[in-house]
């Protein structure tokens, strides 16, 4: 079941990207295409409301493994 959920999330994100690209017929440069894709992903990610399962456990493990890297951010 988890693999199906992940696949659906990937397909949903691909759909968002396709819609953003389809609206524009021509891109003047590769950089402009990258910006459109980035903005589409950014807009889609703001709509994600599902919490990360077991985040507290993962965060504690990250703090053990990468304490020197994370102390400035937490």
pTM greater than 0.85? no
Q: What is the pLDDT of residues 28-50, one digit of tens each?
A: 999 999 999 999 999 998 888 77
Nearest to 59 by CA among 73, 48, 38: 73
Domain that holds residue 61: 2-70
Domain count, the chain: 1
Phi first, then psi: what are they for 53, rounded to 5°? Answer: -70, 140
Please report the pLDDT score of residue 16 as a whole number: 94
């Amino acid at each position: 079941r988890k693999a199906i959920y992940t696949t659906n999330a990937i397909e949903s994100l691909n759909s968002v990207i396709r819609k953003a690209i389809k609206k524009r017929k021509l891109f003047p440069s590769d950089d402009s295409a990258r910006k459109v894709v980035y903005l589409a992903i950014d807009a889609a990610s703001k709509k994600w409301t599902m919490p990360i399962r077991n985040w507290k456990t993962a965060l504690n493990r990250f703090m053990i493994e990468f304490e020197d890297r994370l102390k400035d951010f937490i």
